[in-house]
Chains A and B, each alone.
Chain A
Amino acid sequence: MYPILFLSFSGLITLFLGFFQEGKWVKPATILFLAIASISAFIDWNKPGAYFFNMLQVNNFNLLLSLVILITAILIVAISDNFKEIEYAHSAEYYAIMQFSLVGAIMMTNFQSLIMLFLGVEILSVSMYVLTGTDKRNLRGNEAAIKYFLLGAFATGILLFGIAMIYGGVGAFEIDAISGTLASNQAQSLFLYIGLVMLLIGLLFKLAAAPFHFWTPDVYEGAPTIFTLFMATIVKTAVVFALYRILHQSFQNMHLSWSYILAGCIALSLIIGNLSAVKQISFKRMLAFSSISHAGFLLLGLLHVSKTADKSLLFYSVSYLLASTSAFGVLLALKNERTENGRSNENISVFKGLATRSPFLSAVLIISMLSLAGIPLTGGFWSKFYVLTDAANDQFFYLIVLALLLTAVGVYYYFKPIITVFEKSDIQEAITINPIFKIIFVLTTLGTLVLGLFPDLLYGMI
């Protein structure tokens, strides 16, 4: 709760900081604000309760989610570089918008009333529309922004219709009331049914699950890399836990109805995500398709209402966002390496010769790829393992088989960058890495390995 208040306020301050000394202080200040916001989350630690007329709910798990989101944001802000490559950049605005978007993300994980879910989704989405289009002169950025905006607004409409229908069926917005109504009333109202489906579709869109994934590759490719990273990590985490609250904490009695929709989306996401990634040349686009397949895996964790679902999902999210931060971060670190027409090369080929030029970066990249592929000794292995064990059930047995088969396909394309790293390149000179990047990389890579070696450190803690 306190992070929300604090970030709304600090975002405004950040805007003003942009006026001083050409915005030199904006980035450090943002990191400081995010750190304070993270600490402020602890005010409510061990004090579960409700805020804002029972619209937001606070408990330790929700606070943990807020912390995960905030800490990821700190990592992301730390590897951003004041958007120097963007003409007419107003870095203060972007940092402010990032902070505002976090307000949305945290609301999405803490909501009790669907009103707050809607507000959270919108705050996050509208911020992301702006951030996607930050590079105003870049046609690709423009295209990504308009695609994201139009498709996103459309999905918002669907989501809203769903909420309205649920309201019609229950007479309240609180998820407690929904689960209460469902538990007491055997007959399922048609309003509720339509509402659930539409709400689900709206959130699946934000999660980038097939068949609502079409925006993902284009937007990921067109947006500035740092915001792609933001989308892949924070937005995904927020949405998946919003889905968790909806499906597991309010509509758990309608499990039979929604699990089939979910199963269909999972199958499609896994197939489309993994197979399309195989032929990609652009690294960002490959990761976009990989994020679709990861959406499928996250949904697998939601498929059954089980006691361990929240643990598995959190583990999955954390290991995924550590690996993504490393992967996108390496791309950011290489931004100035090779440029074409003034734009940095974002193809997999940019990693050529990295093994000799910077063993450190190659190690970071390789470990992140292994984790994304789910190779043992990395966090990615255990996250897939937990999610699959949760989903293991006779009913959806074929999904598990499919997931395992397509994981094998995943290994194929995740190893492409790894192989490229060891290819010979004409350029031999060593790459200098910003010390901040180094720290972040060490953190994310160590995190990935620690999760892989000692999964219970996190899994047992939750």
Chain B
Amino acid sequence: MLQENTALIPDMIKQIPLVNYVLLASILFVIGIVGVLIRRNALIIFMSIELMLNAVNLLLVAFSAYNSDPNGQVFVFFIMAVAAAEVAVGLAIIVMIYRNIRSIDIGLLNKLRG
């Protein structure tokens, strides 16, 4: 599955198998998804999405370390930057909506349908 070139991986990391990281990240990711699915508050949904992104970050870092390949960690920085941009835009949209309807409950927004 992975070319585990153990010589290059620090012992600290080797003590925990890769599969545990994957599992942790997956669980975080699923928690994020569930959050998105069951909450109605736009902000909370947004937070859950951020949680999903961070789960991915964790996954990438883990793979990166076990691969002895820095690309993954570089990508994490890209994701963080993009997520920040997304937050800026997302919050702006949420604020805009709050101004207009004094609520950020997504259940109220269903004029466009059919």
Contacts and interface: CB of A to CB of B under 8 A. Distances in A.
Say if the two chains contact directly (CB < 8 Å). yes
A28 to B, nearest CB: 28
A129 B93 contact: yes
> What does DSSP make chain B's interface, helix, strand, loop or mixed?
helix
A380 interface: no
Given A139-B100, A173-B71, A157 B2 contact: no
Given A153-B46, A160-B56, A130 B71 contact: no
A126 B86 contact: yes
Given A133-B96, A157-B52, A161-B59, A168 B112 contact: no
Q: Which of A140, A146, A169, A189 has most chain B Cβ within 10 Å? A: A146
A172 interface: yes
A97 to B, nearest CB: 10
> What does DSSP make chain A's interface, helix, strand, loop or mixed?
helix
Nearest to A139: B100
A57 B79 CA distance: 21
Given A157-B49, A157-B53, A164-B59, A122 B109 contact: no
A143 B2 CA distance: 45
Given A150-B106, A157-B32, A217 B112 contact: yes
Interface string B78-91: 11001001100110
The size bracket of the interface on B is 35 or more
A399 to B, nearest CB: 28
Interface string A180-199: 00000000011100000000
A161 B52 contact: yes
Q: Which of A145, A160, A172 has most chain B Cβ within 10 Å? A: A160
Contacts of B75: 115, 118, 163, 167, 173
Given A153-B46, A157-B49, A171 B109 contact: no
Interface string A104-143: 0000000000010011001000100110010011011011
Interface in B35-73: 36, 42, 45-46, 49, 52-53, 55-56, 59-60, 63-64, 67, 69, 71-72
A139 to B, nearest CB: 6
A221 interface: yes
Nearest to A155: B49
Interface string A266-287: 0000000000000110000100
Nearest to A121: B82
Given A129-B90, A161-B52, A171 B46 contact: no
Contacts of B90: 129, 149, 153
Contact of A150 (B45, B53, B55): B45
A280 B82 CA distance: 37
A355 to B, nearest CB: 29
Contacts of A115: 71, 74-75, 78
A171 B67 contact: yes
Q: Which of A115, A140, A153, A172 has most chain B Cβ within 10 Å? A: A153
A113 B75 CA distance: 11
A310 B109 CA distance: 40
B42 A146 contact: yes
A175 interface: no
Contacts of A142: 93, 96-97, 100-101, 109
B78 A136 contact: no
B3 interface: yes
Given A157-B56, A164-B60, A136 B96 contact: yes
B22 A126 contact: no
Nearest to B53: A157
A154 interface: yes
Contacts of A119: 78, 82
B12 interface: no
Given A129-B90, A164-B60, A172-B69, A191 B1 contact: yes
B71 to A, nearest CB: 6
Given A157-B32, A164-B60, A168-B63, A139 B101 contact: yes
B59 A168 contact: yes
Contact of B63 (A160, A167, A285): A167
A438 interface: no
A405 B46 CA distance: 41
Given A144-B112, A161-B59, A122 B85 contact: yes
Contact of B112 (A156, A160, A189, A221): A221
A150 B89 CA distance: 11
A171 B78 contact: no
Contacts of A390: none
Interface in B14-50: 22, 25, 29, 32-33, 36, 42, 45-46, 49
In the complex, the 3 A-B pairs of residues with the closest C-beta atoms, listed nearest first: A157-B52, A218-B112, A143-B109
27 contacts: A119-B82, A126-B89, A129-B89, A129-B90, A133-B96, A140-B111, A142-B93, A142-B97, A142-B100, A143-B110, A146-B97, A146-B109, A153-B46, A153-B86, A153-B90, A154-B36, A154-B52, A160-B56, A160-B79, A161-B52, A161-B56, A164-B63, A167-B75, A173-B75, A189-B1, A217-B112, A218-B112
Given A143-B97, A157-B32, 8 more contacts: A122-B86, A142-B100, A147-B112, A150-B42, A157-B49, A157-B53, A172-B69, A221-B112
